Every structure is written in structure tokens, then in C-alpha cells.
Amino acid sequence: MKTVQEYLNDPRITGDIGLMSGADEIRIIHAIRLKQQDEITGMSFEEKSSIKKTDVLFTSLGLPLPEYVNLSGQGRASINV
């Protein structure tokens, strides 16, 4: 899993003008929140983004959404994207 320092260099933080122009402490808190969020879901931002794009595609084609499986052995994943 990534460290807080690695999250500070994450595009979700470096690409946010408001965060980059704010106090260092705010960026650190945001990095910690991103780290916790990724650890809780067990998925990276890129993985969640990919799932969201898939859901949009299926919906636009009028297809039922696919069921996602948590491969860590915990059964069906619940995803809040």
C-alpha cells in the first residue's frame, strides 16, 4: 500500500489547484483520507474509476450492471464510486 508521502504526489492532490495553493496541513489531511479510502475499499482510484466507466457504458447500452467480485476472498464487493 502507498505511503502518505506517495499520496501527497498523487494527481488527485497535485492536480487540485485549491489544495496546492492551501496550507501543507490540508494536503496532508487530504492525503491521509485518500489513503484510508483506498485501504477500506481495497481498490486504487484508477480501479474505482475503471469500474465507474464500465457502469456508465453498461447503462448507456441498456445492459444490467455487472456484479463485481472481491478477489480477496470476502465475496461480493460493495462499491461506492
pLDDT, tens digit (0-9, with 9 covering 90-100), for 29-61: 999 988 887 777 677 677 777 878 888 888 899
> Domain map of the chain by residue range?
1-41, 44-81
pLDDT for residue 19 is more than 80: yes
Q: Can you name the residues that pair with 75 across neighbouring β-strands?
A: 70
pTM above 0.85, yes or no: no
Task: Let me know: does 10 contact 31? Beta carbons within 8 Å.
Answer: yes
Q: Looking at residue 28, what is its pLDDT?
A: 92
Q: Is the pLDDT of residue 22 over 80?
A: yes
Q: Is the pLDDT of residue 78 over 70?
A: no
> DSSP E strands: which ranges in 1-81?
69-70, 75-76
